Amino acid sequence: MKGRINHSLVYWCYNIAGDRWDLETMCGIAKKLGCTSIEILEAEHFPTLVRHGLSCALAANGMPGAPFMRGFNNPRYHDEVIERTSRTIDACAAHGMPAVIAFTGYKWRDADDPTSGEISREEGAAACVAGLKRIATHAERQGVTICLEHLNTRDDTHPMKGHPGYQGDDLDEVADIVRRVGSPRVKLLFDIYHVQVMHGDVIRRLEQCRDVIGHVHTAGCPGRGELDDDQEINFPPIMRKLVDIGYRGYVGHEFIPTRDALAGLEQAVSRCDI
């Protein structure tokens, strides 16, 4: 490890998909690869990470089911999202974990019902700003960062490769929401795979978002597979750009394995460790 990229493994990719490693197994693999974090975990898993000397770079927000469906763009979900996220923030603070994930949510007024009518982008953005401001002070007090994720809506081939209906699919709009909140503890989750699917031009967009990036994810495109030569993203210069703009957070490897998961992780870490 060259020490310029802080590598993190994303739990769901290798527990739900891939080789279905349990957390103890994954902790051993993370340490073997030189990764210092396993992320998208609930607070109940933090003691295991601490025992292994690992961090959770980005905690799950405690929402049941598909947490990206019910988010800050819809006031009907604000109380639940804020309550669950606040509990996770408290657990992060207690265990020394730096951040928790957040989502805009789906565009429908009832997130489960596409016939319920759509929330306009302007309305949704305003609701996100209002909801995030409600919780930002608590995050500041606890020293934990909330990272709002941009997701792609173009890929409808798999429920975790794209999210048709997600309102936060425009990177500029999500970055604008973060800036409008105006808190040092509310940042952007820059997912390289999702940005590539929706926009491309990744390196320029890193520069444009440098003031609000709080976390980064990787995966190959198209298909959200390994970071190999069969996909279109050139990761080493993207990692160099992260270093150039002064990013010192974590890079979470969030690809869905299509073959041996450990070999894929070794490749991802090697390719991104510039």
The pLDDT tens digits of the residues spanning 192-250 come to 999 999 999 999 999 999 999 999 999 999 999 999 999 999 999 999 999 999 999 99
pLDDT at 18 over 60: no
Q: Give all domains of the chain, ordered by start, each with its CATH number.
A: 6-272 (3.20.20.150)
**What per-residue confidence (pLDDT) applies to 19?**
67
The pLDDT tens digits of the residues spanning 80-90 come to 999 999 999 99
Cα dist. 198→74, 174, 195, 212 in Å?
Answer: 23, 13, 5, 19
**What per-residue confidence (pLDDT) applies to 179?**
98
Averaged pLDDT for residues 7-11: 97
pLDDT band at 15 (very low <50, low <70, confident <90, very high): confident
**What per-residue confidence (pLDDT) applies to 20?**
84
Averaged pLDDT for residues 183-190: 98
**What per-residue confidence (pLDDT) applies to 175?**
98
pLDDT at 178 over 70: yes
pLDDT at 255 over 90: yes
pLDDT at 37 over 90: yes
The pLDDT tens digits of the residues spanning 49-82 come to 999 999 999 999 999 999 999 999 999 999 999 9
**In this prediction, what percent of the chain has a pLDDT beyond 90?**
97
**What per-residue confidence (pLDDT) applies to 123?**
98
